[in-house]
Every structure is written in C-alpha cells, then in structure tokens.
Amino acid sequence: MLFAATLSLLALPNVWAQSSVADAYVASESPLARAGMLANIGPSGSQSLGAFPGIVIASPSTVNPDYLFTWTRDSAVAFSAIVNQFALGIDTTTRGEIDDYVASQVIVQQIPNPSGDLASGGLGEPKFNINETAFTGPWGRPQRDGPALRSIALITWANFLLSESNTSYVTDTLWPIIENDLNYVAANWNESTFDLWEELNSSSFFTTAVQHRVLHQGVSLATALGQPESLVSNYETQANFVLCFLQTYWNTAGHITANTGGGRSGIDANTVLASIHTFDAAAGCDALTFQPCSDLALLNLHTYVDAFRSLYEINSGFASNEAVLTGRYPEDVYMGGNPWYLTTLAVAEQLYDSLIVWNSQKSLEVTSTSLAFFQIFDSSIAAGTYASSSSQFTSLTGAIKTFSDGFVAAVANHTPANGGLAEQISNTNGTPVSAVDLTWSFAAALTTFDARKGVVPASWGAKGLSLSCAGEPIPQTVFCDFQRRCYYYFWAYVYPLFLAICRLMLFGARIENIYLTGSVDALEDWSTETALLMSSANYPIWSITVTLPANTDIQYKYINIDGSALTWESDPNNEFTTPASGTFVTHDTWR
C-alpha cells in the first residue's frame, strides 16, 4: 500500500530534532553495544559463561524465551560486524575472538544433528548447545541461511588476510570451512527452508539473497586460491540460477514477497535485512540485486514501514513522513506482536547505505517505481535524475538523512539507561520485551552506526551482474494449496524476454504438457490415459482445480507427457491428508 498523502518536512520542525537525538545516541550507545555483543561470546564474555571459545549465545535469557543457544545465523551476523570493523581498521582488538570463532566453526560443522551430518544436510541445522553439542529437540529445520551467512563473514576475513599475505591460513584453515558451506548452498539453494524467523517453510527472499551473494563471492575466492575449475564453474552456474530466482520475489503491488508460502501479505523485515546484508556500494542502485537505493528496494521499504504506522499503539500520532517503530511483519503474534530493535535499525541502515551511494555518485534517480518513496519528502518531485548540484538533490538527501535519524531516535527513546538492547519493544508502552541483551540487536546497532558515519564495506562483486542462465535447467518446485489448486512453478524470469529464454532452455521451443494423477477417483486413480491436464495459461505456472474428498489420505504424482513419451516424477509418491475443512499448504519438489 502506498502512502495516501505526503506532508512537507518543513511543516514538522520537531522532526529535525531527531538528528540531535541520533547524534547523542550513537555516541553513547556505540561502546555499550560493542561491549554487549562481546559479552555474549564465550568463553570470556560476562554473559556467556559455559559457552565454549568462539561460541556466540543469542541472548543470556533462559526463560520466556530460552535463547541460551548458539544459532549459526545470529553468530554469523555478529561476526560479520566484527570482521568488517577489523578489516576496515575501526576496531582491531578482536583478533582473538575471530580466531576462536573460526576454530569453533570447524567443530560445529562436524557435529551430527537432527538435520544430518556434514555429508547429509547437517549444515542446515539452525542451532546448537553452547558446549558444541547437538540440540535434539523439535525445531524449524532446516534453515539454509546460516551456511551462507557464515561464509560471508569468513570470506570477508579471508580476503583481508590475503591482502596481508597470509595465504597459508586462508588455504589451510578458512577454505575448508568455506568450501563446506559453499557446496551446501550450491546443492540446496532450490530446496525449501524455514525463514529467518523460523516459522515458515518455503522459499525465503532473505535466504535466497544471501545465498546468491556467497556463491558469487565463492567464485572469486576459489579462483584466487587456485581451486579446481569444475568447482568454480559450479558455483558460478548456481549463482546465475539463484540471481534469476531472486527476481521472482518482486510483487507488482509494491513490495518484495518475503516468503513463497505461509499465506501472509509478504510484507516483512526479511526483505529490508536482505538489502543491507547484500549491500555493495560499488553496485550503485542496482535493482537486480535489490541494492538499498534501487527503486525496487526503496518502494519495498516504503510499503514495509507504512504497514506498521497504524498497527502499533506506540506509533500513534506520527505523521506520514516521520519515523516509526517497525516489527517483523504485520501479521506477527509472537509475544503479542511488537516492534523489534533490529528491524527498526535496519530501516535506518538501508537509508544510510542509500545516502552513501547517492553522495558517492553525486546524483540520485527518481523512477516511476520509486516516485512514491521520494514523494514522502517532496510531494512535487517528478521522475528524473537529480545531480548533487541541484536543489532537489540537496533537499531530498537532507530530508532522507533526517528521516533515517528518526528511526535511530525511535530506538534511542526505548533503550534503557544501561544500553541493553532486547529483542522487542512493547507495542503499547515501549518497554523492552522478550529476550534481553540480544546479540543481533547489538550487531544491528553497530552496523547502523557505521553506515550513518559513511563506512563502506568491501565490495562483494555485485557491480555489473546480469541475468544469465546457461547450462542445467532452472530448478522446479510444486506448490499445492488445498483450496484445491496445484501450482507447478518453475524458477524462471519474471520479464517476457527472460521467460522466452527459459522456455527455450527448459522445454525446447514449446511448452510441456504437465498432468496430475493420484490415488483417488478425483485424480483418475493413477491412470496415465485419463490423467488431468494442467493449464499453462499463466505460464510458467501450471494450474488445475480439483475437488477432493475431506479427511482422506491422498497420494499423487506429476507426469510430463510428450506425444508417446511419458515421464513420471521419481519415487516416492507425494502424499498428504486432506483437512476436514479450510485450507492446507504443502511444498513438493519435482524429482
């Protein structure tokens, strides 16, 4: 949903005061956030007693909720912040923690767990006990963002060490860890995953975005280390496929659809976090990789922020061009559904990243897509390119800087005197809620403050990328919802030109005939002669409507029939039990 109206920033002088609040907060909170994050890293951290060396606890909270575990994702986010600051010379006192983290991940990768072992999917296990043993309780697994994020941190470290001529450590110690993660990502990116909130099992924009980044980085590092060409070629091929798939998350309603399943609006902080975790200033405002200042990312941010303006009581009274507290997604009910520190800071960080690029390239572009975002600050602005010498550039960037500072000020207003950053902020009275001293909250503060200062992380190679899918067919997945529709999705391009390429690549010069059959009369009792033809009217989506009996075990398969040639999915059969009423969602992968 777009803003219904825009107001002149000059009409709201109280907004400008937010920048002075942000100035003071950054100065006071920076050392506290750093100390808070390090306190959560074993063995010497004051909050992480019992954690093995290099192990990051998510939070010292042990009840309601119990976060005294180490998550691969959260640990990698923390060490990405630490490694970036070290490599950029901002904080070079953390070498011991980095070395311990590397050593701990050598061990963690080898721990057999409910997701498998190193060779059978164990890298998708989301969390472990802090003494480097497997967590065996029920959980949302696998979570496939962890390996990508871990290798993003380690590749950044490897590149720094290579610049320091420490090749042997990179080759002997870092590369084996990184290669394990890259191989996992290359082999499993097209499989379903629980999202970063650990609630939905589908495909997730955040996961896909970081997977694309790490595969691209893997190509460069593997080449630099003289790894086999076959390995490099595989990473490159898979990176191209992932970039193609990344485009399919865009929703023309004006936002990125965060997850392909779950039945939500798709508006989610997942997408903002993806943009900042794949920021590459050298790529400018590239839309293919959803860079922070791209028109797609800006419109998405606009839609995301607006979704929370009237949702929380604590946001009442703020104008449409003022910052507000944001949460994970509008439908959230966890702990009552509240704003989060890290999601609100992520909005500020995306805007600060955008300002870095605009100031560097000495211009900004307003497109028909991003127009609604820029009209927050100037209702009369028109599509076009504005040079840094123009009054429009000056007024827009100044207003956006103030807007960004407003999100930092919103967090500052709800940070306790000791600088502790919990997971959430009460949506009614603004008090900290849920896990205390969340490591990710501290990391988010540090990266946001760095972006505000104009700190530019090392490029990961996003500049100049283009859509190119050559070689193996794009992976395919079946999605069924039991409003009785089955959708046969092929990960394809969303633009007509690329759809045409995919048609040629996947199926020659024409569209395949895809059929559905199964174990009940409504699915033709496994008949290949009377199997149900699925419509390709919305190619590359195949669809069919089937009425099925309630409370019944159903087995089914898809068939590709080309004249006399018939190809079944491989075993086992797809299977589910129909509900008594309502809807049911399952995700299958064509075998």
List, by residue number, the catalytic residues. 195, 198
CB 392 within 8 A of CB 378: yes
139 assigned ligand-binding residue: yes
- 174 C-beta neighbours (distance < 10 Å), count: 23
98-134 core/surface letters (b: 16 or more CB in 10 A; e: else): bebbbebbeebbebebebeeeeebbbbbbbbbbebeb
CB 421 within 8 A of CB 33: yes
Name residue 360's amino acid: S
DSSP per-residue string spanning 472-484:
SPPPEEEEEETTT
Question: Cα separation of 291 and 241, whole Å?
Answer: 19
Task: Please report the beta strands in 223-294, taking only residues with DSSP state E, as ranges in sequence order.
Answer: 250-251, 255-256
Length in residues, the chain: 591
For residue 303, the SS3 value is: helix
CB 424 within 8 A of CB 340: yes
The pair of three-digit structure tokens given for residue 210, joined into one six-digit string? 């970081």
CB 62 within 8 A of CB 50: no
Measure Cα distances from 528 to 72, 100, 290, 575, 590 in Å: 46, 59, 44, 18, 18
From the centroid of its chain, how far is CA 169? 30
Task: Please report the beta strands in 74-144, taking only residues with DSSP state E, as ranges in sequence order.
Answer: 127-128
Name residue 459's amino acid: S
**DSSP label at 249?**
G
CB 533 within 8 A of CB 489: no
319-354 core/surface letters (b: 16 or more CB in 10 A; e: else): bebbbbbbbbbeebeebebbbbbbbbbbbbbbbbbb
Residues of each annotated binding site: 139
Binding site for substrate: residue ranges?
139
